[in-house]
Structure 1
Amino acid sequence: MESAGELVYVVDDDRRVREALSALLRANGRDVRAFDSGREFLDTPRQKAVSCLILDLRMPGMNGLEVQKLVSKDSQIPVIFITGKGDVPSTVLAMKGGAVDFLTKPLDEDELIRAVDAALARAQVLRREAQDTAVLQALYRSLTPREQEIFPLLASGLLNKQAAAVLGITEYTVQVHRGHIMRKMRADSFATLVRQACKLQLETSPTTTFYA
Protein backbone atom coordinates (compact mmCIF):
# COMPACT_ATOMS: atom_id res chain seq x y z
CA MET A 1 0.00 0.00 0.00
CA GLU A 2 1.14 3.56 -0.64
CA SER A 3 2.67 5.37 2.31
CA ALA A 4 1.18 8.84 2.65
CA GLY A 5 3.62 11.65 1.99
CA GLU A 6 6.35 9.46 0.50
CA LEU A 7 7.80 10.08 -2.95
CA VAL A 8 10.37 8.35 -5.18
CA TYR A 9 12.34 10.41 -7.69
CA VAL A 10 13.77 8.61 -10.72
CA VAL A 11 16.54 10.20 -12.80
CA ASP A 12 17.67 8.30 -15.90
CA ASP A 13 18.34 9.46 -19.46
CA ASP A 14 16.87 6.23 -20.89
CA ARG A 15 13.13 6.70 -21.42
CA ARG A 16 12.45 2.95 -21.33
CA VAL A 17 14.18 2.63 -17.96
CA ARG A 18 12.27 5.60 -16.55
CA GLU A 19 8.95 4.20 -17.69
CA ALA A 20 9.68 0.69 -16.46
CA LEU A 21 10.82 1.89 -13.04
CA SER A 22 7.88 4.25 -12.71
CA ALA A 23 5.43 1.48 -13.58
CA LEU A 24 7.06 -0.96 -11.14
CA LEU A 25 7.11 1.53 -8.30
CA ARG A 26 3.52 2.63 -8.85
CA ALA A 27 2.45 -1.01 -8.94
CA ASN A 28 4.00 -1.27 -5.49
CA GLY A 29 2.09 1.73 -4.19
CA ARG A 30 4.76 4.40 -4.59
CA ASP A 31 4.25 7.93 -5.83
CA VAL A 32 6.86 8.63 -8.53
CA ARG A 33 8.36 11.65 -10.30
CA ALA A 34 10.68 10.88 -13.23
CA PHE A 35 13.31 13.08 -14.90
CA ASP A 36 15.50 12.54 -17.97
CA SER A 37 18.55 14.38 -16.64
CA GLY A 38 20.21 15.47 -13.44
CA ARG A 39 19.85 19.11 -14.45
CA GLU A 40 16.08 18.77 -14.92
CA PHE A 41 15.81 17.16 -11.48
CA LEU A 42 17.96 19.82 -9.81
CA ASP A 43 16.05 22.66 -11.48
CA THR A 44 12.66 21.31 -10.37
CA PRO A 45 11.47 22.44 -6.91
CA ARG A 46 11.27 19.36 -4.69
CA GLN A 47 8.20 18.60 -2.64
CA LYS A 48 8.36 18.43 1.15
CA ALA A 49 7.40 14.76 1.14
CA VAL A 50 9.65 12.10 2.61
CA SER A 51 11.54 10.93 -0.46
CA CYS A 52 14.40 9.00 -1.99
CA LEU A 53 16.22 9.29 -5.31
CA ILE A 54 16.92 6.51 -7.83
CA LEU A 55 19.81 7.95 -9.82
CA ASP A 56 21.52 6.64 -12.96
CA LEU A 57 25.29 6.74 -12.59
CA ARG A 58 26.22 7.35 -16.21
CA MET A 59 24.28 10.07 -18.04
CA PRO A 60 25.28 12.55 -20.75
CA GLY A 61 26.14 15.97 -19.41
CA MET A 62 25.95 15.79 -15.63
CA ASN A 63 26.63 12.29 -14.32
CA GLY A 64 25.08 10.71 -11.25
CA LEU A 65 28.00 11.43 -8.92
CA GLU A 66 27.85 15.12 -9.81
CA VAL A 67 24.11 15.19 -9.17
CA GLN A 68 24.60 13.44 -5.84
CA LYS A 69 27.20 15.99 -4.79
CA LEU A 70 24.93 18.93 -5.60
CA VAL A 71 21.87 17.35 -3.97
CA SER A 72 23.79 16.67 -0.74
CA LYS A 73 24.57 20.38 -0.34
CA ASP A 74 20.99 21.26 0.56
CA SER A 75 19.27 17.94 1.17
CA GLN A 76 19.65 14.62 2.96
CA ILE A 77 17.61 12.67 0.43
CA PRO A 78 18.79 9.02 0.34
CA VAL A 79 20.21 8.02 -3.04
CA ILE A 80 20.04 4.62 -4.76
CA PHE A 81 22.44 4.43 -7.70
CA ILE A 82 21.67 2.29 -10.75
CA THR A 83 24.10 1.59 -13.57
CA GLY A 84 24.67 -0.70 -16.50
CA LYS A 85 28.45 -0.47 -16.16
CA GLY A 86 29.38 -0.42 -12.51
CA ASP A 87 32.98 -0.13 -11.37
CA VAL A 88 34.64 -0.22 -7.97
CA PRO A 89 35.91 3.42 -7.90
CA SER A 90 32.46 4.77 -8.77
CA THR A 91 30.82 2.55 -6.18
CA VAL A 92 33.25 3.75 -3.52
CA LEU A 93 32.64 7.41 -4.41
CA ALA A 94 28.88 6.90 -4.37
CA MET A 95 28.91 5.23 -0.96
CA LYS A 96 31.27 7.84 0.49
CA GLY A 97 28.81 10.45 -0.77
CA GLY A 98 26.07 8.81 1.29
CA ALA A 99 24.38 6.50 -1.23
CA VAL A 100 22.27 3.83 0.47
CA ASP A 101 22.62 1.27 -2.34
CA PHE A 102 24.27 0.64 -5.69
CA LEU A 103 22.37 -1.63 -8.11
CA THR A 104 23.44 -2.97 -11.50
CA LYS A 105 21.18 -3.15 -14.56
CA PRO A 106 19.25 -5.22 -15.49
CA LEU A 107 17.65 -4.56 -12.13
CA ASP A 108 16.16 -7.26 -9.96
CA GLU A 109 12.66 -5.99 -9.16
CA ASP A 110 12.52 -7.40 -5.64
CA GLU A 111 15.97 -6.05 -4.84
CA LEU A 112 14.99 -2.60 -6.08
CA ILE A 113 11.80 -2.51 -4.02
CA ARG A 114 13.74 -3.57 -0.92
CA ALA A 115 16.28 -0.81 -1.60
CA VAL A 116 13.50 1.78 -2.00
CA ASP A 117 11.80 0.64 1.21
CA ALA A 118 15.12 0.93 3.08
CA ALA A 119 15.84 4.35 1.57
CA LEU A 120 12.42 5.71 2.52
CA ALA A 121 12.79 4.33 6.05
CA ARG A 122 16.13 6.14 6.23
CA ALA A 123 14.47 9.32 4.95
CA GLN A 124 11.86 9.06 7.72
CA VAL A 125 14.63 8.84 10.33
CA LEU A 126 16.47 11.81 8.82
CA ARG A 127 13.28 13.88 8.83
CA ARG A 128 12.58 13.10 12.50
CA GLU A 129 16.16 13.96 13.39
CA ALA A 130 15.90 17.26 11.48
CA GLN A 131 12.65 18.11 13.23
CA ASP A 132 14.13 17.27 16.65
CA THR A 133 17.18 19.41 15.86
CA ALA A 134 14.98 22.33 14.80
CA VAL A 135 13.04 22.15 18.10
CA LEU A 136 16.27 21.96 20.09
CA GLN A 137 17.73 24.96 18.30
CA ALA A 138 14.57 26.94 18.96
CA LEU A 139 14.81 26.12 22.67
CA TYR A 140 18.45 27.18 22.68
CA ARG A 141 17.60 30.49 21.03
CA SER A 142 15.11 31.13 23.84
CA LEU A 143 18.02 31.36 26.30
CA THR A 144 19.43 34.75 27.22
CA PRO A 145 23.02 35.55 26.12
CA ARG A 146 24.24 34.87 29.67
CA GLU A 147 22.39 31.56 29.80
CA GLN A 148 23.94 30.58 26.47
CA GLU A 149 27.31 31.41 28.00
CA ILE A 150 26.69 29.30 31.09
CA PHE A 151 25.09 26.33 29.32
CA PRO A 152 28.29 24.81 27.82
CA LEU A 153 30.21 25.36 31.06
CA LEU A 154 27.66 23.36 33.02
CA ALA A 155 27.49 20.72 30.29
CA SER A 156 31.27 20.33 30.49
CA GLY A 157 30.85 19.18 34.10
CA LEU A 158 31.80 22.32 35.99
CA LEU A 159 30.18 22.90 39.35
CA ASN A 160 28.21 26.09 39.89
CA LYS A 161 31.10 27.71 41.77
CA GLN A 162 33.55 26.72 39.04
CA ALA A 163 31.38 28.18 36.28
CA ALA A 164 30.97 31.31 38.40
CA ALA A 165 34.74 31.66 38.69
CA VAL A 166 35.20 31.27 34.93
CA LEU A 167 32.65 34.03 34.23
CA GLY A 168 33.44 36.26 37.21
CA ILE A 169 29.93 36.11 38.66
CA THR A 170 28.50 34.75 41.89
CA GLU A 171 27.71 31.10 42.49
CA TYR A 172 24.13 32.04 43.34
CA THR A 173 23.74 33.77 39.96
CA VAL A 174 24.91 30.61 38.18
CA GLN A 175 22.50 28.53 40.28
CA VAL A 176 19.58 30.74 39.25
CA HIS A 177 20.59 30.65 35.59
CA ARG A 178 21.01 26.88 35.79
CA GLY A 179 17.39 26.50 36.84
CA HIS A 180 16.25 28.74 34.00
CA ILE A 181 18.34 26.79 31.49
CA MET A 182 16.94 23.44 32.62
CA ARG A 183 13.39 24.77 32.37
CA LYS A 184 13.78 26.50 29.00
CA MET A 185 15.60 23.53 27.46
CA ARG A 186 12.95 21.17 28.88
CA ALA A 187 15.75 19.07 30.34
CA ASP A 188 14.52 16.62 32.98
CA SER A 189 18.04 15.79 34.13
CA PHE A 190 21.64 16.94 33.88
CA ALA A 191 22.35 14.01 31.54
CA THR A 192 19.69 15.33 29.17
CA LEU A 193 21.33 18.76 29.26
CA VAL A 194 24.69 17.24 28.34
CA ARG A 195 23.14 15.34 25.41
CA GLN A 196 21.48 18.53 24.21
CA ALA A 197 24.81 20.39 24.31
CA CYS A 198 26.37 17.61 22.22
CA LYS A 199 23.56 17.72 19.66
CA LEU A 200 23.88 21.51 19.46
CA GLN A 201 27.65 21.06 19.03
CA LEU A 202 28.36 23.56 21.77
CA GLU A 203 31.93 24.01 22.90
CA THR A 204 31.89 22.34 26.31
CA SER A 205 35.52 22.91 27.30
CA PRO A 206 35.82 25.99 29.53
CA THR A 207 38.36 28.54 28.35
CA THR A 208 39.62 29.02 31.87
CA THR A 209 40.58 26.16 34.19
CA PHE A 210 39.39 26.50 37.79
CA TYR A 211 40.81 24.48 40.60
CA ALA A 212 38.58 24.02 43.61
Structure 2
Amino acid sequence: MSHQSTVFVIDDDEDVRESLRWLFQSVSMPVEVFASAAEFLAHPDRDGPGCLVLDVRMPEMDGLELLEVLRTHRIGLPAIMISGHADVPMAVKAMQTGAVDFIQKPVNHQDLLQRVRRALAADERFREEIGDPRIIAERLEQLTAKEREVLESIVNGSTNKAIAGALKLSVRTVETHRANLMRKLGVHSTAGLVRVTLACRLRP
Protein backbone atom coordinates (compact mmCIF):
# COMPACT_ATOMS: atom_id res chain seq x y z
CA MET A 1 0.00 0.00 0.00
CA SER A 2 1.36 3.40 -0.97
CA HIS A 3 2.37 5.69 1.90
CA GLN A 4 0.45 8.43 0.11
CA SER A 5 -2.88 6.64 0.43
CA THR A 6 -5.19 8.50 2.79
CA VAL A 7 -8.35 7.53 4.64
CA PHE A 8 -10.89 10.33 4.21
CA VAL A 9 -13.42 10.25 7.06
CA ILE A 10 -16.65 12.21 6.53
CA ASP A 11 -19.09 12.35 9.44
CA ASP A 12 -21.07 15.19 11.01
CA ASP A 13 -20.58 13.72 14.51
CA GLU A 14 -17.40 15.17 16.01
CA ASP A 15 -16.99 12.30 18.48
CA VAL A 16 -17.11 9.77 15.64
CA ARG A 17 -14.64 11.78 13.56
CA GLU A 18 -12.12 12.02 16.37
CA SER A 19 -12.55 8.38 17.33
CA LEU A 20 -11.85 7.28 13.76
CA ARG A 21 -8.96 9.73 13.44
CA TRP A 22 -7.38 8.16 16.52
CA LEU A 23 -8.05 4.64 15.20
CA PHE A 24 -6.32 5.17 11.87
CA GLN A 25 -3.46 7.17 13.35
CA SER A 26 -2.88 4.37 15.88
CA VAL A 27 -1.95 2.04 13.00
CA SER A 28 0.00 4.72 11.10
CA MET A 29 -2.60 5.26 8.39
CA PRO A 30 -2.69 8.80 7.00
CA VAL A 31 -6.16 10.17 7.76
CA GLU A 32 -8.08 13.38 7.19
CA VAL A 33 -11.48 14.13 8.69
CA PHE A 34 -14.34 16.29 7.41
CA ALA A 35 -17.53 17.45 9.11
CA SER A 36 -19.62 17.48 5.94
CA ALA A 37 -19.76 16.36 2.34
CA ALA A 38 -19.33 19.97 1.21
CA GLU A 39 -16.16 20.30 3.27
CA PHE A 40 -14.71 17.22 1.60
CA LEU A 41 -15.69 18.41 -1.89
CA ALA A 42 -13.76 21.63 -1.25
CA HIS A 43 -10.62 19.64 -0.44
CA PRO A 44 -7.95 19.95 -3.17
CA ASP A 45 -6.87 16.29 -2.92
CA ARG A 46 -10.36 14.76 -2.99
CA ASP A 47 -9.39 12.54 -5.93
CA GLY A 48 -6.04 11.48 -4.48
CA PRO A 49 -5.19 7.86 -3.63
CA GLY A 50 -7.06 6.44 -0.68
CA CYS A 51 -10.60 5.57 0.34
CA LEU A 52 -13.66 7.15 1.91
CA VAL A 53 -15.23 6.23 5.23
CA LEU A 54 -18.46 8.16 5.38
CA ASP A 55 -21.72 8.32 7.25
CA VAL A 56 -24.86 7.70 5.23
CA ARG A 57 -27.08 10.13 7.13
CA MET A 58 -25.71 13.68 7.24
CA PRO A 59 -27.46 17.06 7.01
CA GLU A 60 -27.54 19.02 3.74
CA MET A 61 -25.86 16.29 1.65
CA ASP A 62 -25.92 12.67 2.80
CA GLY A 63 -23.39 9.98 1.97
CA LEU A 64 -25.32 8.56 -0.98
CA GLU A 65 -25.75 12.02 -2.49
CA LEU A 66 -22.02 12.64 -2.08
CA LEU A 67 -21.21 9.48 -4.04
CA GLU A 68 -23.51 10.68 -6.82
CA VAL A 69 -21.71 14.05 -6.92
CA LEU A 70 -18.30 12.37 -6.95
CA ARG A 71 -19.43 10.22 -9.85
CA THR A 72 -20.45 13.28 -11.88
CA HIS A 73 -16.97 14.68 -11.21
CA ARG A 74 -15.45 11.34 -12.28
CA ILE A 75 -13.96 10.67 -8.85
CA GLY A 76 -14.08 6.98 -8.08
CA LEU A 77 -12.55 6.60 -4.63
CA PRO A 78 -13.66 3.34 -2.98
CA ALA A 79 -16.19 4.17 -0.29
CA ILE A 80 -17.09 2.38 2.93
CA MET A 81 -20.51 3.52 4.10
CA ILE A 82 -21.40 3.60 7.80
CA SER A 83 -24.93 3.95 9.14
CA GLY A 84 -26.70 3.62 12.45
CA HIS A 85 -30.04 3.07 10.71
CA ALA A 86 -29.17 0.69 7.89
CA ASP A 87 -31.69 -1.32 5.96
CA VAL A 88 -31.47 -3.59 2.93
CA PRO A 89 -32.70 -1.05 0.32
CA MET A 90 -30.20 1.51 1.61
CA ALA A 91 -27.34 -0.98 1.42
CA VAL A 92 -28.35 -1.97 -2.11
CA LYS A 93 -28.51 1.68 -3.18
CA ALA A 94 -25.07 2.31 -1.68
CA MET A 95 -23.55 -0.56 -3.66
CA GLN A 96 -25.29 0.58 -6.85
CA THR A 97 -23.88 4.06 -6.32
CA GLY A 98 -20.37 2.65 -6.10
CA ALA A 99 -19.71 1.88 -2.43
CA VAL A 100 -17.43 -1.10 -1.85
CA ASP A 101 -18.67 -1.86 1.66
CA PHE A 102 -21.53 -1.05 4.02
CA ILE A 103 -21.40 -1.49 7.79
CA GLN A 104 -23.65 -0.59 10.70
CA LYS A 105 -22.90 1.34 13.88
CA PRO A 106 -21.60 0.65 16.43
CA VAL A 107 -18.49 -0.02 14.37
CA ASN A 108 -16.10 -2.79 15.34
CA HIS A 109 -12.72 -1.09 14.97
CA GLN A 110 -10.77 -4.18 13.96
CA ASP A 111 -13.39 -5.06 11.37
CA LEU A 112 -13.30 -1.52 9.99
CA LEU A 113 -9.50 -1.55 9.79
CA GLN A 114 -9.60 -4.78 7.83
CA ARG A 115 -12.13 -3.37 5.37
CA VAL A 116 -10.19 -0.13 4.98
CA ARG A 117 -6.96 -2.01 4.27
CA ARG A 118 -8.77 -3.98 1.56
CA ALA A 119 -10.17 -0.78 0.05
CA LEU A 120 -6.77 0.95 0.06
CA ALA A 121 -5.08 -2.06 -1.53
CA ALA A 122 -7.78 -2.25 -4.20
CA ASP A 123 -7.42 1.47 -4.91
CA GLU A 124 -3.67 1.14 -5.33
CA ARG A 125 -4.02 -1.83 -7.69
CA PHE A 126 -6.64 0.01 -9.69
CA ARG A 127 -4.50 3.15 -10.04
CA GLU A 128 -1.53 1.07 -11.16
CA GLU A 129 -3.63 -0.53 -13.90
CA ILE A 130 -5.24 2.63 -15.20
CA GLY A 131 -1.82 4.24 -15.22
CA ASP A 132 -1.34 2.32 -18.47
CA PRO A 133 -4.27 3.29 -20.73
CA ARG A 134 -3.53 0.36 -23.01
CA ILE A 135 -4.76 -2.08 -20.38
CA ILE A 136 -8.20 -0.49 -20.10
CA ALA A 137 -8.42 0.18 -23.84
CA GLU A 138 -7.76 -3.48 -24.60
CA ARG A 139 -10.45 -4.56 -22.15
CA LEU A 140 -13.00 -2.09 -23.50
CA GLU A 141 -12.45 -3.39 -27.01
CA GLN A 142 -13.69 -6.77 -25.83
CA LEU A 143 -17.14 -5.40 -24.96
CA THR A 144 -20.06 -5.99 -27.26
CA ALA A 145 -22.49 -3.18 -28.06
CA LYS A 146 -25.06 -4.71 -25.72
CA GLU A 147 -22.51 -5.03 -22.92
CA ARG A 148 -21.73 -1.33 -23.29
CA GLU A 149 -25.43 -0.54 -22.94
CA VAL A 150 -25.64 -2.67 -19.82
CA LEU A 151 -22.49 -1.04 -18.42
CA GLU A 152 -23.91 2.44 -18.92
CA SER A 153 -27.10 1.41 -17.12
CA ILE A 154 -25.14 -0.10 -14.23
CA VAL A 155 -23.12 3.08 -13.82
CA ASN A 156 -26.39 5.02 -13.75
CA GLY A 157 -27.40 2.94 -10.73
CA SER A 158 -30.07 0.82 -12.44
CA THR A 159 -31.00 -2.57 -11.01
CA ASN A 160 -30.86 -5.74 -13.10
CA LYS A 161 -34.66 -5.70 -13.32
CA ALA A 162 -34.73 -2.07 -14.51
CA ILE A 163 -32.00 -2.75 -17.08
CA ALA A 164 -33.89 -5.79 -18.34
CA GLY A 165 -37.03 -3.70 -18.82
CA ALA A 166 -35.25 -0.82 -20.54
CA LEU A 167 -33.24 -3.03 -22.91
CA LYS A 168 -36.00 -5.61 -23.43
CA LEU A 169 -33.92 -8.45 -22.03
CA SER A 170 -34.56 -11.10 -19.41
CA VAL A 171 -33.11 -10.54 -15.94
CA ARG A 172 -31.00 -13.68 -16.40
CA THR A 173 -29.52 -12.24 -19.60
CA VAL A 174 -28.65 -9.00 -17.80
CA GLU A 175 -26.98 -11.02 -15.05
CA THR A 176 -24.94 -12.82 -17.69
CA HIS A 177 -23.90 -9.52 -19.28
CA ARG A 178 -22.93 -8.16 -15.84
CA ALA A 179 -20.77 -11.22 -15.15
CA ASN A 180 -19.13 -10.91 -18.57
CA LEU A 181 -18.42 -7.22 -17.95
CA MET A 182 -16.69 -7.96 -14.67
CA ARG A 183 -14.63 -10.73 -16.26
CA LYS A 184 -13.62 -8.68 -19.31
CA LEU A 185 -12.83 -5.52 -17.34
CA GLY A 186 -11.02 -7.38 -14.57
CA VAL A 187 -13.19 -6.18 -11.69
CA HIS A 188 -15.20 -8.01 -9.06
CA SER A 189 -17.98 -5.62 -8.06
CA THR A 190 -20.37 -2.93 -9.19
CA ALA A 191 -18.02 -0.39 -7.63
CA GLY A 192 -15.24 -1.70 -9.87
CA LEU A 193 -17.39 -1.29 -12.96
CA VAL A 194 -18.19 2.29 -11.95
CA ARG A 195 -14.53 3.11 -11.36
CA VAL A 196 -13.42 1.69 -14.71
CA THR A 197 -16.11 3.70 -16.45
CA LEU A 198 -15.13 6.91 -14.67
CA ALA A 199 -11.45 6.35 -15.30
CA CYS A 200 -12.02 5.77 -19.00
CA ARG A 201 -14.39 8.73 -19.33
CA LEU A 202 -17.18 6.64 -20.76
CA ARG A 203 -20.22 8.83 -20.24
CA PRO A 204 -23.14 6.96 -18.70
Q: State whether structure 2 residue 43 is matched by structure 1 residue 44.
A: yes
Partner of 1:102: 102
What residue number does 1:127 align with?
127
Q: Residue 196 and residue 52 in structure 1: after superposition, are their counterparts in 2 closer, same or farther (change >3 A)?
A: closer
Length, aligned pairs only = 144
User: Are positions 1:67 and 2:7 aligned together?
Assistant: no
Name the Cα RMSD after superposition: 2.4
CA distance in 2, matches of 1:93, 1:204: 27
Structure 2 unaligned runs (5+)?
146-204
Residues 142-177 of structure 1 show CA distances to partners (whole Å, capped at 9, x for unaligned) of xxxxxxxxxxxxxxxxxxxxxxxxxxxxxxxxxxxx
In our comparison, the structure showing a higher alpha carbon Rg is 1
**What is the distance in 2 between the residues matched to 1:204 and 1:94?**
27
Preserved contact between residue 8 and residue 50 of structure 2 (Cα < 8 Å): yes
The residue matched to 1:100 in structure 2 has which SS? strand
Determine the structure 2 residue equivalent to 1:199: 139
The 8 Å contact of residues 2 and 124 in structure 2, kept in 1 or not, is answered as no
Q: What does residue 26 of structure 1 align with?
A: 25
- Cα distance in 2 for partners of 1:72, 1:122 equals 18
1:114 maps to what in 2? 114
CA separation of 1:197 and 1:20: change in aligned 2, threshold 3 A: closer
Q: How many Å apart are 1:29 and its aligned residue?
A: 1.1
Residue 100 of structure 1 and its aligned partner are, at CA, apart by 1.1
1:3, 1:29 within 8 Å by CA — same for their partners in 2? no
Gaps of 5+ in 1: 137-194, 206-212
- Maintained 8 Å contact 2:47/2:77: no
Cross-structure match for 1:145: none
Aligned equivalents of 2:65 and 2:144: distance in 1?
37
Contact 2:40 2:46 in 1 (8 A): no
